[in-house]
Amino acid sequence: MARNTQSHSTRSSGEGRPVEPQRVERTVREISQLNAPDAPVVRHLQRQVANAFLLYANYKRYHWQTFGPLFRDLHLLFDTMADEVRGTLDEFAERLRMIGQDPIATPAEVMENTSVKPAPLGLTMREMVEQADAHAVIVIREMREAVEAADEANDPGTADLFTRFVQVHEKHEWFLRDILERGDRLVT
């Protein structure tokens, strides 16, 4: 068996030319330096990691506490919303890793960085839907601001992520708003 004795100290640029390890390392450092922990893009990503954790918990609480004439529909809706929000969490966290930072993960970090509030027990169905709707509006506003921050930082990957995931929350807000505006008094 022939053994490859060629050095593996260079990578291909994708155009057939080797890329020097120093150049790769310099690029990685540049990405990390531009995305320091206090950089606007990093702060927006961390905030949405925290929001996703807490919204997931809130939607599950609403799901478990649902009652009344719309029980089945709201029970399923809140469970679907929880799953969809959970689906965003990993991508936000991985984006933070891609740009050189560590995502928050502990309950204390989540509570320090979130802009939504934990759902308390004892809410009426209307209060649950109203709180969920208010939180969706907050997250939509923040994600739209995050797209602008990512654009200003010349970070199309993060801008794309926020652009895709704001639509998840816009759909949630639409459904919740429709329930509240229906006027059929089924959610009291």
Look at 19-23, 28-32, 79-83, 145-149 and tell me which has the smallest mean pLDDT. Answer: 28-32
Alpha helices in 20-124, H assignment, sequence order = 21-34, 40-65, 71-98, 107-113
CA angle 117, 179, 160 (to 5 degrees): 60
Q: Is the pLDDT of residue 3 over 70?
A: no
Which one has a higher pLDDT value, 6 or 145?
145
User: What band does 6 get if pLDDT is binned at 50, 70 and 90?
Assistant: very low
pLDDT at 159 over 50: yes
pLDDT in tens, 26-39: 555 555 556 788 89
110 contacts: CB under 8 Å, gap ≥ 6: 49, 50, 53, 54, 104
CATH number for region 37-181: 1.20.1260.10
Q: For tokens 């799901």, what's the residue?
A: 63
> For 96, phi and psi rounded to 5 degrees?
-60, -45
pTM score of the predicted model: 0.81
